[in-house]
Amino acid sequence: MQLQQQRLSAGSSGCAGRRLAAPAVRRASSRARTMPVVEARKVAVLGAAGGIGQPLSLLLKMNKLVTELALYDIANVKGVAADLSHCNTPVKVTAYTGDAELEGALKGAELVVIPAGVPRKPGMTRDDLFNINAGIVKGLVSAAAKHCPNAIIEIISNPVNSTVPIASEVLKAAGVYNPKRLLGVTTLDVVRANTFVSEARGLDLKDVDVPVVGGHAGITILPLLSQATPSVTFSDAEREAMTKRIQEAGTEVVEAKAGAGSATLSMAYAAARMAESTLLGLAGEPSVFECAFVDSQAVPGSPFFASKVQLGPEGVSQVLGLGTLNDFEKAALDAMLPELKAQIQKGIDFARK
Ligand SMILES: NC(=O)C1=CN([C@@H]2O[C@H](COP(=O)(O)OP(=O)(O)OC[C@H]3O[C@@H](n4cnc5c(N)ncnc54)[C@H](O)[C@@H]3O)[C@@H](O)[C@H]2O)C=CC1
Ligand SMILES: O=C([O-])CC(=O)C(=O)O
For residue 160, the number of C-alpha atoms closer than 13 Å in the C-beta half-sphere is 30
Q: pLDDT tens-digit profile of 108-146? A: 999 999 999 999 999 999 999 999 999 999 999 999 999
ipTM above 0.95, yes or no: yes
Which are the catalytic amino acids? 216
Q: Which residues contact 275 (CB under 8 A, 6 or more apart)?
A: 43, 56, 60, 63, 111, 113, 154
Q: Which of ligand 1's atoms lies nearest the C-alpha of 46? A: 31
Whether the predicted pLDDT of 223 surpasses 70: yes
Sketch the domain layout of the chain as residue ranges: 41-185, 186-352
Q: Find the mean pLDDT for residues 99-103.
A: 98
- The pocket around ligand 1, CB under 6 angstroms, is made up of 46-47, 49-53, 72-75, 115-120, 129, 133, 136, 139-140, 156-158, 160, 185, 188, 216, 261-264, 267
Q: Which of ligand 2's atoms lies nearest the C-alpha of 158? A: 6
- CATH topology for 41-185 is Rossmann fold (3.40.50)
CA distance 100 to 104: 8
Sign of torsion over alpha carbons 264, 218, 291, 184: negative
Q: pLDDT tens-digit profile of 8-56? A: 333 322 222 222 233 322 322 334 435 555 678 999 999 999 999 999 9
pTM tops 0.90, yes or no: yes
- CATH topology for 186-352 is L-2-Hydroxyisocaproate Dehydrogenase; Chain A, domain 2 (3.90.110)
Tell me if residue 119 falls in helix, strand or coil: coil
Quick check: CB of 158 below 6 Å from ligand 2?
A: yes
